[in-house]
Amino acid sequence: MVWNRIVKWFRDMSERRRLINEWNNNAREAYISGAVPSLLEASTSSGNSNNRHEMSKWMMSGFRIKVKSGKPLTKEELLAIGRIILYNNQLVRRIVILGWDTLEVYDAANKRGVQWAFKDFISLRLN
């Protein structure tokens, strides 16, 4: 029983790392090609305990998108980035299953940020 939990934990950690790496590789390619005006970088953060759901990881439950380059963004532009992510139902479901509960979008230039609870954008009922 304990061994199964350990194996699942490592498998989940590996899948979380794979999603972050996949996001960052795609974001770099989109920025280099000129398809997007700012470089976005995904990472994991401590999240917001108010956003917990039944699949939340105990630690590091925030999925953070940081705007790394380009012009400083307004709050409205940060909200637009968040909405693009939150309206991608398949991505949100994948993120939730991997234990993230909070979406954070931050602009590195002006230290402005916004956040959402993933549970507000997905039904977690399994039955």
Give the tens place of pLDDT for each residue, 10-50.
566 788 999 999 999 999 999 999 998 889 999 999 999 99
Q: State the pLDDT confidence band at 7, using cuts at 50, 70 and 90.
A: very low
For residue 89, give the nearest of 118, 54, 63 by alpha carbon.
118
Residue 127: pLDDT above 60?
Answer: no
Q: Identify the pLDDT of residue 2.
A: 53
Please say whether the beta carbons of 43 and 67 come within 8 A.
no
Sign of CA dihedral 60, 15, 112, 75: negative
Average pLDDT, the chain: 86
> How do strand 102-107 and strand 62-67 relate by DSSP bridges?
parallel
- What is the model's pLDDT at position 59? 82
CA distance 20 to 34: 21
Give the model's pLDDT for residue 126: 45
